[in-house]
Amino acid sequence: MRVCALYPDLMNIYADRGNLLMLRRRCAWRSIAFTLTAAGLGEPIDPDAHDLFYLGGGQDRDQRLCALDLVRTKREALHAAADRGALVLGVCGGYQLLGHRYALGGEDIPGLGLVDLETVRSDGPRLIGNVAIEVDLDGDGPRVLAGFENHAGRTHLGSGEPPLGRVLKGHGNTGDSGAEGVRRGSVIGTYLHGPLLPKNAWFADWLISAAVGAGDLAPLDDLLEDAAHAEARRAAGA
């Protein structure tokens, strides 16, 4: 599995690095080769060299820096990667940058335009708390993702743009739409962190399988992982 972490030094709030560690370990336990490449400011990326591109969350200042660099040096490559089916996972601030723009006061921060959405910074209360959503990634029936959300932005999906899931508990994209995240093909965005994958081992495995085309993965002893997932759901009230 070849993973490219975008701006891991800047977009790594809320322990998002744990998502990368989770992928590394679950690959290692199955003897699946794993490589991790970091791409920072001013560094171009090869759209054909990676199976998954990961973009975490960051403070507003860092998000501005990364947004400008994404558009200037990485946008075309990420579009090419997504077009060939490479996974793109954006979490929190990274999710916001997958869309067209993030309106922050009187400033428009440009996005990648990989999905049809825009985010507007609200003067209302931040959307904070434990959250659980119901997702159906492959049409095999719903599963639950649980995590933590903390965002002032309200993310509005374009007409016909499907969310990642339906909010069971928590706020989601806008606090009142009932939708959380976005998924267009291999591009996925979500506000769930805390970090996301250690709380949802099944989703980490889904990403691994989708990235390497492995089909059903060898099962692991997930006693602790299942307990972490159950606790995340309990905290959210789901």
Residue positions annotated with a catalytic role? 92, 193
Nearest C-alpha neighbor of 154 from the set 129, 185, 179: 179
CB atoms within 10 A of CB 27: 22
Q: What is the helix, strand, coil percentage profile of the chain, to 5? A: 30, 30, 40
What pairing do the DSSP bridges indicate for beta strands 165-169 and 2-6?
unpaired
Cα distance between residue 36 and residue 19, in whole Å: 12
How far, CA to CA in Å, does 102 sit from each of 20, 48, 96, 126? 25, 28, 7, 16
Residue corresponding to tokens 């049409």: 139
Collapse the DSSP code of 34 into the 3-class scheme (helix H, G, I; strand E, B; otherwise coil) and give the result. coil
